[in-house]
Structure 1
Amino acid sequence: MSDPPGYTTAAHDGEKAVGVDEVDYKKDVTRPGDMIETDPALDQRITRKLDLHILPWIFILWLLAFIDRSNIGNAKLDGLVKDLKLTGDKYNTALAVFYILYVLVDIPSNWLLKIVGGGHWLSAIAIAWGIVGTAMGGVKSYGGLIACRLLLGACEGGMFGGIILYLSMFYKRHQLMFRLGIFYCAAPLSGAFGGLLATGLSKINYHGYNGWPWIFFVEGAITIVVASVAFFFLPHTPSQCKFLSHEEQWHAAHRLRLDLHGASSAEQVEEEHFSWTAVKLSLFNVNTIAMSLNFFLILIPIYSFSLFLPSIISGLGYKAVHAQLLTVPPNFLAFLMVIGVSFLSDRIKMRGPLILAGASLAAIGYILQIASHKPGIKYAGTFFVAAGMFPCSPLVLAWLSNNLAPHYIKATGLGFQVAIGNCGAFVATFTYLSQDAPDYTKGHAINLGAIGLILIFTAGNMMYIKWENAARASGKRDHRLREGGGEDGLGYRHPEFRYTS
């Protein structure tokens, strides 16, 4: 039988090559040694179709997620603090409570994503937070605001890590960073888009709701509508992509196994079962621990920037509407930087060096904030912070995703990373206090200190990866092939698996 179009086979001597018409598309019948290489043209066609049918939905869901969590900063400038009598640190507390449940649901949410199906799960939690976000427009008291922020965090908690895990179920390791960049650049874009939208919505006065409530009403309602439509279009796994042919579905799944080398046959998302061993292997891992702590530090400046940029710019002497509009340029620059750095990262197949560069750039921005007293220079500093910090978040997430396998190990590790990382929000929400206005020197100094630790953690993790990859190349990890469970169950511990640096 001749090979079908789309791939070539290199089966073992004496073994029959596998053809498309002999394949059960729901189960890969090949063994790790059966190198069935996907034709580059077919691979490109699959990737292009995935990009077209998945990335736009993921992008807009994350855009709406970031708008719905950070629009409280826009509402603050339009009278939220005055109307709800948020004296002292009450506003900062309202920001912080969002992350209490947010960080607790990450890991179980990633487990549920597989059970429910990624397309349905991500859409459903978006509908849930859209309902809560809409309700925030009707709050009349501090207690009501706290309750809504808690519920909003519970609903949004599974989205960030869920999207990363979801994309890793469709894309190869060094295709992943650019796709993460595409979705994550919605975060800084939300600052630009949210600022423009809030400027218009704050002018609405209707039925006793004046200004800021309409920011929540309209933006929450948009989320509900978009997520409801996404529920019917997002697929769960490559074999369930209706926009792929049967041949393309099989190759979309198989190319992931080839991409993971020794971890290949374990990366069968639809057939792999949960085990506490996978949880242990995921959590007691140098990469998981180091990159989770690094993510914690990275999110301190990112969250404080997203939540307090309107206040920082207002402190430079600009009025509310003008301050809202001035949040747009630095956020748009961050959007462009995330796209550019993500593309570069996949091309050079590196994450760590780009984190070092981005953190250094952001450090310049905070130094300008602290050292200068001129509003123009301080405002210029926000551009350095935005351009340097926002790309670091998808970089460190893709870095860990690249270095974990198979599915449940990756799901647990990413959930843990997002949970630990988002604890940085508890620091971020109290970095810029009202009594420190208008200079906010203490907040800038805290963020600068976090960046110094980011540089240390990143450099240290790069050194560990170089050492471990060298050990595997020299055969020092070959003894793992004789361990119980066989080579199929080794995942990232397989001697042929190489960490991304």
Structure 2
Amino acid sequence: MSGVTPKAQDDHVASIEQVERGGGVQGVQGAQHPPEDEALELINDLGHSTLLTPENNARVLRQIDLRLLPVMLGIYFLQQMDKSTLSYASVFGLIEKTHLHGLEYSWLGSVVYAAQLVSQPLVAYLLVKVPLGKFLAVSCLAWGIVLSCMPAANNFPGLLMCRMFLGVCEAGIAPAFIAVTQMWYRRREQPIRLGSWYAMNGVVNMVGSLITYGLGHINSSVFAPYQIIFLFFGLITVGFSAFILFFMPDSPLKCKFLNEEDKLIAIERLRMNQQGIESHHWKWDHVKEAALDLKSWLWFSLMFSISIPSGGISTFGALIIKNFGYDSFTTILFNIPFGAVQLVATMGGAWLATKLKVKGPILIFLCLFPIAGCVMLLQIPHTAANRGALLAGYYLISVYPGITPLVYSWSAANTAGETKKKVTTGIFIIGQSAGNIIGPNLYTTAEAPLYRRGLISNLALFCVLIVLCSMNMAYLFFLNKKHERQRVALGKSSTVIDASMDAVTHQDKQNSTLQAVAEDNVFRDLTDLANEDFVYVY
């Protein structure tokens, strides 16, 4: 590629413009393909493409980050805060004052994910057909209203119903965020962005613990402390939904903060992903491929395996600390370092994945810490003299949130085709929801303070995760070899440089130009299995 002359490059650009104005991408064999992706329609409307340089890439990326990330971080902070209110409320008398017993408290944690599981087929369809910005605003408004109603529930059936509707309203947030990340960011950029909003789990455990500490000191003759917690965060969420509606764009093609030239740069930034940008056509052949693709079920298994410990620990985490022998307020304060470890693990894992351009080995590395933490909590006697060691073990377990966003980005980077992307996300979110349903039920208040059944099952599943990551890496290696053979059979070079995992250089503008003139599969809405130019990331 480095030997291309300026004249040859200009000829290639002219060829691209001629092909795109013709209403489709023309390959070397002369075959015509209809414009499947709306990005290609925009290029056709404007009559030209553009070239990506380090300078214009950095400028547009900065604009995208400044607009998207504050909104996404705010949404995810509120979602995790709203989910965590149950754990905080349990410390401030929820169980006693609403007369919960047996597995009832556990089911309040599980029912949210049961509702999310059932909702995923509808969510997958809506994410293809509905503008993403509007979808997120309405979802936020709905769950804020539900949480604001929870203070009126004073028994198990009422709380269960509210938590169920909370799950339905929140079911599309993580899938929508994955779709947003695929739509706006290069594969190199995705781990940090996915990690940044998922890191709100850690921020919630720090900031949320301090806020709850203050709310718990409010003396009210009308509301109990746990009711104040529900109402406070519910009303904030309702207000934030208006902010989302105003600031969250639907796509790079329809946003108002980018001018027409910058929209073309946003499109060109994603060319090397080989994943397209946006299409509102639901394709049943994509659904079939997602259902039959072994990768889909490996993502499902990974999410299921990490979500069982996640669901249990997130629901019972505060009670585990309290049973080390601390009072309610001290328990809340000791939850702050838990959040700090989560934040470091999530962003540290994302940084390593970006630096090393791999995800599987980083996931295996992150599993080692919670394995050690589970062993410590199982083996160290639960006495006052061992509080420090027990807390250290608990904080080692808190590395586990760094695993989930890496699985998100691993799947996002290895799936193409608009409908297939949404269906694949739905499949592994079902696995995540199922795991979160089971997780809290492996812990029961009757097993306090040891919670042996929950901790032993969590230990086993962190080991299972290591095996699943190894299997997935082997399968992705096999698929890359298969695509190499397909390219050779079509007369192409067997080697494709995955520029989506590298920093943008001046050479990229030549690479993307040459690739577009050849058989350009980028905007044909092809699935990853159908696109021989797709390179899988380990």
Equivalence for 1:403: 414
- 1:159-218 CA-to-partner distances (Å, cap 9, x unmatched) read 111111122111111211110011100012212222211111122233421211000000
Match of 1:334 among 333, 339, 342: 342
Q: Does 1:376 align with 2:388?
A: yes
Go from structure 1 to structure 2 and tell me whether the alpha carbon gap of 1:66 and 1:11 turns closer, same or farther (over 3 Å shift). farther
Equivalence for 1:496: 533
Aligned-partner SS, 1:500: coil
Structure 1: which amino acid aligns with 2:403? C
Equivalence for 2:259: 245
Shift of 1:471: 2.8
Match of 2:189 among 175, 182, 185: 175
Structure 2: which amino acid aligns with 1:470? K
Count residues in correspondence: 481
Distance 1:492 1:480 in 2: 19
Distance 2:121 2:76 in 1: 19
Shift of 1:304: 1.8
Match of 2:327 among 294, 319, 322: 319
Aligned-partner SS, 1:166: helix
The worse-fitting range, judged by mean Cα deviation, of 467-476 and 14-23 is 14-23
Contact preservation (8 Å) 1:10, 1:17: no
Q: Does 1:227 align with 2:241?
A: yes
Contact preservation (8 Å) 2:310, 2:436: no
Shift of 1:26: 7.0
Uncovered stretches (5+) of structure 1, i.e. residues with no partner: 1-7
Go from structure 1 to structure 2 and tell me whether the alpha carbon gap of 1:362 and 1:25 turns closer, same or farther (over 3 Å shift). closer
Structure 1: which amino acid aligns with 2:361? P
Shift of 1:439: 1.4
Structure 2: which amino acid aligns with 1:214? I
Equivalence for 2:514: none
Distance 2:456 2:367 in 1: 14
Q: Which residues in structure 2 correspond to 1:446-485 (within 5 Å)? A: 446-475=457-486, 478=489
- 1:69-110 CA-to-partner distances (Å, cap 9, x unmatched) read 121111011111111100122111222222221112223223
Shift of 1:13: 9.3
Equivalence for 1:46: 60
Match of 1:185 among 185, 199, 202: 199
Shift of 1:45: 1.0
Equivalence for 1:352: 360
Go from structure 1 to structure 2 and tell me whether the alpha carbon gap of 1:369 and 1:239 turns closer, same or farther (over 3 Å shift). same
Equivalence for 1:143: 157
Go from structure 1 to structure 2 and tell me whether the alpha carbon gap of 1:282 and 1:35 turns closer, same or farther (over 3 Å shift). farther
- 1:427-486 CA-to-partner distances (Å, cap 9, x unmatched) read 2111221111111122110100111111111111111111221232244884799xxxx9
Structure 2: which amino acid aligns with 1:62? Y
- 1:257-300 CA-to-partner distances (Å, cap 9, x unmatched) read 3331xx5xxx2514x51111111112211211101111111112
Aligned-partner SS, 1:177: helix
The worse-fitting range, judged by mean Cα deviation, of 112-121 and 167-176 is 112-121
Equivalence for 2:27: none
Go from structure 1 to structure 2 and tell me whether the alpha carbon gap of 1:269 and 1:224 turns closer, same or farther (over 3 Å shift). same
Distance 2:469 2:134 in 1: 35
Q: Does 1:276 align with 2:276?
A: no
Go from structure 1 to structure 2 and tell me whether the alpha carbon gap of 1:247 and 1:18 turns closer, same or farther (over 3 Å shift). farther
Q: Does 1:385 align with 2:385?
A: no
Distance 1:169 1:416 in 2: 19
Contact preservation (8 Å) 1:10, 1:36: no
Equivalence for 2:295: 287
Q: Does 1:120 align with 2:134?
A: yes
The two structures have a TM-score, normalised by structure 1, of 0.90
Shift of 1:419: 1.5
Equivalence for 2:88: 74
Structure 1: which amino acid aligns with 2:395? F
Question: Higher relative contact order at CA 8 Å, sep ≥6: structure 1 or structure 2?
Answer: 2
Structure 1: which amino acid aligns with 2:127? L
Go from structure 1 to structure 2 and tell me whether the alpha carbon gap of 1:200 and 1:20 turns closer, same or farther (over 3 Å shift). farther
Equivalence for 1:201: 215
Equivalence for 2:30: none
Uncovered stretches (5+) of structure 2, i.e. residues with no partner: 1-7, 24-37, 493-519
Q: Does 1:109 align with 2:123?
A: yes
Structure 2: which amino acid aligns with 1:164? I
Distance 1:459 1:393 in 2: 16
Distance 1:179 1:306 in 2: 23
Go from structure 1 to structure 2 and tell me whether the alpha carbon gap of 1:480 and 1:193 turns closer, same or farther (over 3 Å shift). farther
Equivalence for 1:413: 424
Go from structure 1 to structure 2 and tell me whether the alpha carbon gap of 1:355 and 1:82 turns closer, same or farther (over 3 Å shift). same
Equivalence for 2:35: none
Go from structure 1 to structure 2 and tell me whether the alpha carbon gap of 1:246 and 1:35 turns closer, same or farther (over 3 Å shift). closer
Contact preservation (8 Å) 1:191, 1:306: no
Go from structure 1 to structure 2 and tell me whether the alpha carbon gap of 1:158 and 1:441 turns closer, same or farther (over 3 Å shift). same
Contact preservation (8 Å) 2:353, 2:362: yes
The two structures have a TM-score, normalised by structure 2, of 0.84
Structure 2: which amino acid aligns with 1:119? G
Distance 1:404 1:25 in 2: 18
Distance 1:13 1:443 in 2: 60
Contact preservation (8 Å) 1:137, 1:213: yes
Q: Does 1:96 align with 2:110?
A: yes
Go from structure 1 to structure 2 and tell me whether the alpha carbon gap of 1:316 and 1:38 turns closer, same or farther (over 3 Å shift). same
The worse-fitting range, judged by mean Cα deviation, of 250-259 and 207-216 is 250-259
Contact preservation (8 Å) 1:304, 1:432: yes
Go from structure 1 to structure 2 and tell me whether the alpha carbon gap of 1:268 and 1:208 turns closer, same or farther (over 3 Å shift). closer
Go from structure 1 to structure 2 and tell me whether the alpha carbon gap of 1:477 and 1:446 turns closer, same or farther (over 3 Å shift). farther
Distance 2:204 2:136 in 1: 19
Question: Considering only aligned residues, what root-mean-square deviation do their CA atoms show, in Å?
Answer: 2.7
**Structure 1 segments (4+ residues) deviating >3 Å:** 8-26, 34-37, 474-481, 486-490
Shift of 1:116: 2.6
- 1:331-384 CA-to-partner distances (Å, cap 9, x unmatched) read 112112211221221222211111100111110111111111122111101221
Aligned-partner SS, 2:253: helix
Contact preservation (8 Å) 2:114, 2:433: no
Contact preservation (8 Å) 2:311, 2:437: no
Equivalence for 1:62: 76
Contact preservation (8 Å) 2:203, 2:340: yes
Distance 1:16 1:459 in 2: 41
Distance 1:116 1:9 in 2: 39
Contact preservation (8 Å) 2:145, 2:238: yes
Distance 1:337 1:13 in 2: 44
Equivalence for 2:271: 257
Shift of 1:43: 0.9
